[in-house]
Each structure stands twice: as C-alpha cells, then as structure tokens.
C-alpha cells in the first residue's frame, strides 16, 4: 500500500506543470512490484545524473486507507509528504483495542476524505454529512495501537469522529480515529526490514514514508488485465512519466529538484490493490 522517501533536504517538489525533472544515477538489480521504497541518501560518491522522467502527480493519503489528495506542491519531510496541515498517513482508523482498520477489511474507507481547514479536521463520505471537529484536541487520550506487528501511538480524535466512522462503515464494532503527533511513539521500519536505518521513523505507513512509481508500469500492467486499474489503486506518493515500464526498478539514486533519494526495497503489493478507489468495492 505504501512506500517511503527519506530526504536529505527539506524542499518543495512540484507536479508536471512546473516541469520538475527526475534524474537517476547508477544501476541496481530489478525488484518485483510496481513501487519502490526510498530513504534519505547518506554520503555517496559523486555520480553523473541522467534525466529519466518527469514528476506528473503528487498524492497524499492523510488517513491510512482513505481517499487520496492530489496536490501541485508538497514539502518533503523525513516522515513523508506534507501539504499545509495535511501529513501523509498521519491519521489511522483503529478498533477499540488498538488494532488498525484498513481498506483490506473495510474497502469503503477509500471513499472517506480527510482535510484540514481553519484549525478543523473535516471528514466527508458518501451519504454522510460533513463532520468538523477541532484539529488539536490535546486533552484527548493518547492510544497505544499497532500497524501490523509494530507498536505505535496516536491521539484519539474524539467520540464524534468515532461515531461518524462507525456509522459510515455500518460496523457492529466501534472504530476510532487517532492522529500521530511528533512526540508520540512512531514506527521503526527497520523492525520489519533491516535495510532501513535504525533511526528511520514513520507514523502509519506499512513501512516507510514515500512510494514512487511510474504511469508506464501501470499501462503495461493493464495490457495483461481484463479490466484496467489506475495508479490510485497502488497509492503512491510520487508518480512519474516519460520513462519505460518498470524502469524505476533500476533507479538506485534519484534526484528530484534538490531532493536526493536512494532506493531501499521494492514495495510489496497486496489485496488492497484490488479495491476500486471510485466505488470502494473489491474487484477480482
């Protein structure tokens, strides 16, 4: 569902209308999967970079398994993309005992949009009235929760949000929403994948902060499917074009503007890629 970026510098990156070029250096063994997981580049020899593509889309998924937000610019931070008050995968739906709830169990979560306006958290979903609550609720409890096998924490977003999500999902069990704050316990991707640095931290992604993939890879995949899929089903952070299908599997070091990235591992795919982002229905 997600991949990661670690960035040496905090800069803004722009989508195609700003014509940001993607450059790569070096070669690497190809990895399976449509997505690549990246980390901050730490001290590498000088390499000659070659233009390999153009950034065409930037996407944030503020709520894990929620609706994507397309943005024209984004700040690249150590824990993922940021746009205004929105941070990628910094909100998480959980059960009352702290286990994550995702589109794998509740595919209609992909239709829920989360935004922030004027200090308020806003939730919208089909056949639901918009809900607005204060974004900062410092008196709410900090909750221990788990993303797969990794322990993490989040600030509970309150009963109104819990009731809204429980009604929307028509769940017989109460669900709640938590928000990651900088001082809370984060995930350590190295606990799942030793190739990540031990000081790497993320909020609620499956592994690391950003995933990159190409439009060409999705087009190639569609030639072998009975029904086309879209890039949105793979939930990337950075989408590129003007490259060959799956060539991103060979990019070892990448520059986007002033941002330097280094590939860590390929991004594993799961059942979630079969959830239609327009209908919230799992397709075969």
More confident residue, 22 or 174: 174
Nearest to 143 by CA among 134, 156, 161: 156
Nearest to 6 by CA among 191, 203, 190, 208: 208
What are φ and ψ of residue 156, in 5° steps?
A: -60, 135
User: What residues have CB less than 8 Å from 199, skipping those under 6 apart?
Assistant: none
Judging by DSSP bridges, how do beta strands 211-214 and 238-241 pair with one another?
parallel
More confident residue, 76 or 25: 76
Distance CA 29, CA 101 (A): 34
pLDDT digits (tens, 9 = 90+) for 121-132: 999 999 999 999
Distance CA 231, CA 74 (A): 19
Distance CA 258, CA 136 (A): 33
Q: Given this model, what pLDDT does residue 84 score? A: 94
Residue 93 predicted with pLDDT over 90 = yes
Annotated domain spans of the chain: 54-282
Residue 30, classified by CB atoms within 10 Å of its CB into exposed (0-12), middle (13-18) or buried (19+), is exposed
- Is residue 55 classed as helix, strand or coil in its secondary structure? strand
Q: Which of 29-43, 48-62, 112-126, 220-234 has the lowest mean pLDDT?
A: 29-43
Residue 117 predicted with pLDDT over 90 = yes
Q: Given this model, what pLDDT does residue 22 score? A: 67
Give bridge partners of residue 121 from the DSSP assignment. Answer: 116, 133
Distance CA 137, CA 284 (A): 41
């Amino acid at each position: 569902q997600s991949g990661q970026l670690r960035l040496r510098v905090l800069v803004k990156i722009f989508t195609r209308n700003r014509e940001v070029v993607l450059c790569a250096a070096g070669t690497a063994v190809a990895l399976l999967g449509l997505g690549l997981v990246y980390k901050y580049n730490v001290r590498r020899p000088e390499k000659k970079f070659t233009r390999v593509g153009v950034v065409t889309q930037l996407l944030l998924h503020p709520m894990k398994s929620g609706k994507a937000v397309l943005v024209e610019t984004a700040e690249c931070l150590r824990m993922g993309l940021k746009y205004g008050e929105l941070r990628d995968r910094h909100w998480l739906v959980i059960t009352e005992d702290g286990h994550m709830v995702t589109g794998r169990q509740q595919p209609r979560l992909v239709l829920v949009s989360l935004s922030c306006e004027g200090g308020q958290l806003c939730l919208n979903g089909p056949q639901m009235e918009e809900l607005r609550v204060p974004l900062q609720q410092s008196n709410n409890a900090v909750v221990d929760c788990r993303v797969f096998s990794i322990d993490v924490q989040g600030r509970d977003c309150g009963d109104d949000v819990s009731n809204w999500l429980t009604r929307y999902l028509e769940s017989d069990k109460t669900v709640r929403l938590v928000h990651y704050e900088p001082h809370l316990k984060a995930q350590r991707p190295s606990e799942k994948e030793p190739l990540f640095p031990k000081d790497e931290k993320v909020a609620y992604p499956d592994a690391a902060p950003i995933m990159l993939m190409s439009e060409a890879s999705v087009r190639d995949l569609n030639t072998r499917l009975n029904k086309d899929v879209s890039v949105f089903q793979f939930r990337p952070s950075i989408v590129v074009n003007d490259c060959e299908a799956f060539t991103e599997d060979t990019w070892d070091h990448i520059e986007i503007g002033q941002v330097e990235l280094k590939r860590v591992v390929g991004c594993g795919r799961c059942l979630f890629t079969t959830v239609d982002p327009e209908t919230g229905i799992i397709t075969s």
